[in-house]
Amino acid sequence: MSTETPLAPAASPGATSAGPVRTQRRLPRFAATALFVAGVVVGALLAALTTGRLNIALTVIYGVILGTLAVYLVSRSVEGRRKATDRLVTTVVTSAFAIAMVPLVSLLYTVLDNGLNRFDSQFFNSSMLGVVGEGGGAYHAILGTVIITALTTLISVPIGLLAAIYLVEYGTGRLKKVLTFFVDVMTGIPSIVAGLFAFALFALFFGPGVRLGAMGAVALAVLMIPVVVRSAEEVLKLVPNELREASYALGVPKWRTILKVVIPTSIAGLGTGVTLAIARVIGETAPLLVTTGFVNGTNLNPFDGRMTALPVFSYYQLTQPGVPPEFGIERAWTAALVLIMLVMALNVVARLISRLFAPKTGR
């Protein structure tokens, strides 16, 4: 099962005969994979014998342990301790990656399997106004998501970018530490707390029963601002100080250096950070349940009345599907699929921004 690879020292120019040739035994190319698969099969059999049926969780646990041990022990006996340790670490890391991918693949499969049933034109061009059972769509919720997210971005991006510029370019001493501390605290705020804050703020001016799309935008802005600040701060720190010093040496003031040198150099990272921050808040449900409410019709004015977003639409279709319930549940799954597609599209946009607007370093 092993192959031998000769390892001979290079002959000197005046040498007339070669010394003894040392050989290092190596496993065949796919032997490690075959051993690991064999361990997984044995783990599946052991799990079936233990529980009396095929148990996926136990199969994964037993299979990974037995497969890793098989690779290590065979490699240790054939290739030696050093190579066996390398194969052990490689197997553990690869197994961890595969296990981490299982929930993601399962989630995507489940959403696609259930959400494609109502992925039709009616879902995208009709609302739930007057619909009780079959039919209807999320046209009003899609528009609500776009409007609320756009308003959130309009609030968060200027504040977040200016705060990051202050922390990197101007902030010093205790004030900078305090601001950084509060930004870190805001990053970990539960989303429902942001919704309660926005509700309490608007209730002071409009009364306790108010529900507005703008309230949802303010709640999401509370969650989005610290993400923008942290990502922009890290990107701005990556700009070489030599560029700033060269600009100062030419007599350019600090504000103009930031505007003409620092920001253009980091524009790709800033755009990527903002796009990922939008993807972070576009699927939030709890703040919008508290602030925007739910409505079956289309409302395009975030400052007048309730407004429905896709996460809230999916939540109500799942918890209050109506009679018969299967139609509402289908709409909930399709809304979740559309949300995943939006998040994936934003991630693609972030990668495109990073690639297209990255500073050109070549001559």
The predicted structure's pLDDT at residue 361? 58
Domain architecture of the chain: domains with CATH: 23-110 (no CATH), 124-356 (1.10.3720.10)
265: alpha, beta or left? (left if phi > 0; alpha if psi -120 to 50):
alpha
DSSP 278-340: HHHHTT--HHHHHHT---SS----TTSS----HHHHHHHHHHS--SSHHHHHHHHHHHHHHHH
Task: Tell me, yes or no, if the pTM score tops 0.85.
Answer: no
The predicted structure's pLDDT at residue 16? 47
CA distance 106 to 109: 5
Each residue's pLDDT tens digit in the chain (363 positions)? 445 555 555 555 544 444 554 556 787 878 888 888 888 888 888 878 877 777 777 788 888 888 888 888 888 888 888 888 888 898 889 888 988 888 888 888 899 988 888 888 888 988 888 777 788 888 999 999 999 999 999 999 999 999 999 999 888 888 889 988 998 888 888 999 999 999 999 998 888 888 898 999 999 999 999 999 999 999 999 888 998 999 999 888 998 999 988 998 888 888 888 988 998 899 889 999 999 988 888 888 888 888 999 999 999 988 888 778 888 899 999 999 999 999 888 888 888 887 877 666 554
Sign of CA dihedral 285, 338, 137, 308: positive
**Phi, psi dihedral angles at 120 (to 5 degrees):** -130, 180
Q: Cα separations (Å) of 303 from 117, 202, 220, 291, 292?
A: 34, 11, 15, 12, 10
Is there a contact between 21 and 52 (Cβ–Cβ < 8 Å)? no
